[in-house]
Structure 1
């Protein structure tokens, strides 16, 4: 009798135990997203068309900021700089000439003429004084006094003319309008020289920032258009991680959130910040939206690591992204 009830009880216990194992509450699985390392390459080319004469780097080279990358033929630009320098020198000389007084010999002559006129004036003054005294005693006539007075006025006029001539000789030769026009010419030629020097400087191109030469696109002997790339530079700060967030988890992720990165043989402390989340779904399935198909939508997102960590990633390398602080190692979920 006991055996009759024992078998069903054991079966019921086994079924209940199996149901508990299958349907017991389970801890949530760690969130993780599939992605890969990507990079924004800097294509560096000349600002002017011309013949490429030298490439100073090779693929894979690490370059510092300001390190020479390539050069173009600069014969024409050197000639332009030389011409601009000579024209500027000539214009400055003309301006200096307009600002300068007369020759020293001409100034000396003007000073001598003034001294001679002053001596003649002094003699005329003395003659007039004596004639005026003689007129009182009757030894001179009024006509003589009038002649001496006219002679004095003539001598004073000559002194004034000599003084003006000396002032003119000592003053700048150019009129104010001529000087101002020449100053404008000098300013214009200085600007032309700066432009010519800038064009010459552009013939030798240097690295805008430190990085790795990802590719060399053009070689010496090629004639390039302005902007045509010669080298492709990869700065460490331009490496980022592109990953894909399933639609059900999209609301949990925001720009500025911290995330952890993991990849094969990478350091364990790689991390970054979410910098972009696409406003539209990356993948649209060929059927009508429904509750059961939402998980098939993924949204393109990007995260950037600090430059010192970003350089440890290689573009194209698979990377798993997870929210910072998860206890378990992330496992990538397929989009």
Structure 2
């Protein structure tokens, strides 16, 4: 089926206007079309709140609708607690033992130092007594063993105090830091899923239609609201082959519609590269007059609100 059967009335009007406009300003027939934006959520749920109504003009970022989010809210709370636990464990590894635990070891070290000093003094006295023949060698050996034992205990506790002040081992710290990062990612994912339950307008525009009512179940990805931003309103019109070469994107045109208080300025944004009707065999002078090309034009967002999809318009050069 040729495109002429689709655009038959408009093509006929274009050809008629072309035939009678050789001595007048050309007038081309067209219509208004809208490129709609369908707002949906990536998550499923019951529609609990519909903040807009059909025919309402809303601003960018205005709330549009919300789905129930009991599970998502609970998942977000769980992710927050898991992150707090992971961060606390990492902080514990980074700081070593608690100060009271360190102080207990320090007190044991002080006691060991005192015992070591006492044993060293006793060893000194016993060595003098042994040289004078006042004590037996066995007693001197006991004093030497006691001094060595207390000195070793001091070194042990000194090392324990040093270790108590050290953070966890490098591998432990790296593993726990990875746990913190995983918890942060889980929290971000839970927050994103919760945010998906509330949808706002990506840009200002007209609420063309609402497709669900509060209380209905909405599948993930199903449009709930159909919007028409003013910049998505365009005019399509058709010009004959003899004219298309003089029209290019950026060219200014004037739109006339029934009921409009004044003509609306617009700018050509697209010119078709293919004819809407291609005659068979050859391009004779007669057949070339049947060639028409589709052109699209956009009005400014302020003027676009005056146009309505499906509305017929006349397009002229200013």
d(CA) in 1 for partners of 2:172, 2:52 = 53
2:155 aligned with 1:160, yes or no? yes
User: Secondary structure of the equivalent of 1:66?
Assistant: coil
d(CA) in 2 for partners of 1:161, 1:214 = 80
Once the two structures are superposed, what CA deviation does each residue of 1:123-149 show, in whole Å capped at 9, x if it has no partner?
A: 3444455566x4898577895777656
The range that moved more, 136-145 or 113-122, is 136-145
1:280 to 268, 271, 274: 274
Q: Is the 8 A contact 2:240 2:293 kept in 1?
A: yes
Paired residues, number: 297
Shift of 1:42: 0.8
Q: Is the 8 A contact 2:130 2:140 kept in 1?
A: no
d(CA) in 1 for partners of 2:190, 2:172 = 27
Shift of 1:210: 1.0
User: Which residue of 1 is the match for residue 15 of structure 2?
Assistant: none
Shift of 1:269: 6.0
Shift of 1:191: 1.2
d(CA) in 1 for partners of 2:273, 2:304 = 25
d(CA) in 2 for partners of 1:163, 1:253 = 91
Pairwise mapping of residues 69-80 of structure 1 onto structure 2 (< 5 A)? 69-80=64-75
Once the two structures are superposed, what CA deviation does each residue of 1:146-173 show, in whole Å capped at 9, x if it has no partner?
A: 765655443332221011111222333x
d(CA) in 2 for partners of 1:87, 1:214 = 44
2:209 aligned with 1:207, yes or no? no
Off by >6 Å, runs of 4+ in structure 1: 139-142, 144-147
Q: Which has the larger radius of gyration?
A: 1
Once the two structures are superposed, what CA deviation does each residue of 1:53-101 show, in whole Å capped at 9, x if it has no partner?
A: 2322211111111222122121221222222223223333333333343
Q: Is the 8 A contact 2:239 2:293 kept in 1?
A: yes
2:34 aligned with 1:39, yes or no? yes
Shift of 1:253: 1.0
User: Which residue of 2 is the match for residue 180 of structure 1?
Assistant: 174
1:51 to 34, 37, 46: 46
Shift of 1:187: 1.4
Shift of 1:29: 2.9
1:87 to 69, 82, 91: 82
User: Which residue of 1 is the match for residue 245 of structure 2?
Assistant: 251
d(CA) in 2 for partners of 1:87, 1:136 = 68
User: Which residue of 2 is the match for residue 329 of structure 1?
Assistant: none
1:196 to 180, 190, 194: 190
2:213 to 216, 219, 228: 219
2:232 aligned with 1:228, yes or no? no
The unaligned stretches of length 5 or more in structure 1 are: 1-25, 325-335
Once the two structures are superposed, what CA deviation does each residue of 1:212-249 show, in whole Å capped at 9, x if it has no partner?
A: 11111122233222221111111111111111121111
2:267 aligned with 1:294, yes or no? no
The range that moved more, 159-168 or 123-132, is 123-132
Distance 1:148 1:282, change over 3 A: same
TM-score calculated relative to the size of structure 2? 0.82
1:98 to 57, 70, 93: 93
User: Which residue of 2 is the match for residue 120 of structure 1?
Assistant: 115
Distance 1:203 1:137, change over 3 A: closer
User: Secondary structure of the equivalent of 2:104?
Assistant: helix
User: Secondary structure of the equivalent of 1:296?
Assistant: coil
Q: Is the 8 A contact 2:33 2:308 kept in 1?
A: yes
RMSD across aligned C-alpha pairs, in angstroms?
Answer: 2.9
